[in-house]
Amino acid sequence: MGEKEMEEKRTEPKRKASLLRALPVAFSLYSRIPMPRFVWGSEDMAYHLIYFPLVGLVIGVLLVLWQRLCLALSLSPLTFSLVGTALPLLLTGGFHFDGYLDTMDAIHSYGDREKKLAIMDDPHVGAFAVVHGLVFCLLYSAGLSVLAADTKGICCAAAGFVLSRAISGLAVVTLPSAKTGGMLQTFARTAQKRAVRGALLAELLAASALLLWYAPLSGSLVLAACLITFFAYRRYALHTYQGITGDLAGWFVTLAELFMVLAAACGSLLN
């Protein structure tokens, strides 16, 4: 047995342990769902992005279950849509929404790259963040109200939580970082990029295929909305900042989920 093979054999148990420990790390970072507590090491961060879409899957399943409960109890579409809008925010602790708000403040500052990055780093919330946060909630609620009685439509919207996170994770390990520090740079630096890219791509393709099989029209609209949002995000980030940041990643996830809900609502109206 060669030296390389022996080294791989020695590191295999560590790799398997890191894969298992990466699951609670991902849920602890990207959700408020209780997880076992332990001291993280850099090896535990190496694979955590693989489970990022799984966080979205849990959120999507809970949204679908909430719709089923509303239908069983004959609750109003307004009740379903308002609680359904709050549900992802509560489950994630506003992790991505915070990046959306910071980015909206930065965009509407009309400053240069350095000023925009400084605004994103500022913990204070500006007027544009408040306005666009309200617009997001109103539009998202409107989209969900259309899907209140559409079981297929809400499943398509729920799949968006998986799609947005799979693509966001791929962007983290593929696109350059706009800053030398920050949480996103740490994730990108510590990630086992080849393994993470392969896993996220497989998850993205599987979710897309299942979505298109389950509801061809609504699924196509949802997938198109996610991809269009991603390419717009990629173009803007690379052109304006020469890379991505954690706030920009949160901005993308939030916008993608909004547009996918609206796309699913359009598919429901067309069916």
- Has residue 155 been placed in a domain? yes
Residue in this structure with the two tokens 């920050």, named with its chain if needed = 182
At a CB cut-off of 8 Å and minimum separation 6, what does 55 contact? 26, 27, 30, 31, 33, 92, 161, 165
C-alpha of 216 from chain center: 23
Of 13-27, 161-175, 232-246, the one with minimum mean pLDDT is 13-27
pLDDT confidence of 6, banded at 50, 70, 90? very low
pLDDT confidence of 26, banded at 50, 70, 90? confident
Mean pLDDT of all residues in 108-127: 89
What does the pLDDT read at residue 187? Answer: 62
What does the pLDDT read at residue 19? Answer: 76
Mean pLDDT of all residues in 44-65: 92
At a CB cut-off of 8 Å and minimum separation 6, what does 235 contact? none
End-to-end CA distance of the chain: 61
pLDDT confidence of 2, banded at 50, 70, 90? very low
DSSP string, 116-146: HHHHHH--S--HHHHHHHHHHHHHHHHHHHH
Mean pLDDT of all residues in 12-21: 65
pLDDT confidence of 23, banded at 50, 70, 90? confident
What does the pLDDT read at residue 5? Answer: 46
Task: Give the pair of three-digit tokens for residue 256.
Answer: 């993608």
Q: Which domain holds residue 134?
A: 48-270
- Has residue 86 been placed in a domain? yes
- Has residue 41 been placed in a domain? no
Residue in this structure with the two tokens 């998850």, named with its chain if needed = 203
CB 51 within 8 A of CB 112: no
Q: Can you state the percent helix, strand and coil of the chain, rounding each to 5?
A: 80, 0, 20
- Has residue 14 been placed in a domain? no
Of 53-67, 135-149, 167-181, the one with minimum mean pLDDT is 167-181
- Has residue 20 been placed in a domain? no
C-alpha of 170 from chain center: 11
Tally of structural domains, the chain: 1
How far apart CA 59 and CA 43 sit, in angstroms, is 26
pLDDT confidence of 18, banded at 50, 70, 90? confident
- Has residue 27 been placed in a domain? no
Long-range contacts for 120-127 (Cβ within 8 Å, ≥24 apart)?
120/245, 120/247, 120/248, 125/101
- Has residue 38 been placed in a domain? no
pLDDT at 234 over 90: yes
C-alpha of 255 from chain center: 10
What does the pLDDT read at residue 77? Answer: 96
pLDDT at 39 over 70: no
What does the pLDDT read at residue 265? Answer: 98
- Has residue 43 been placed in a domain? no
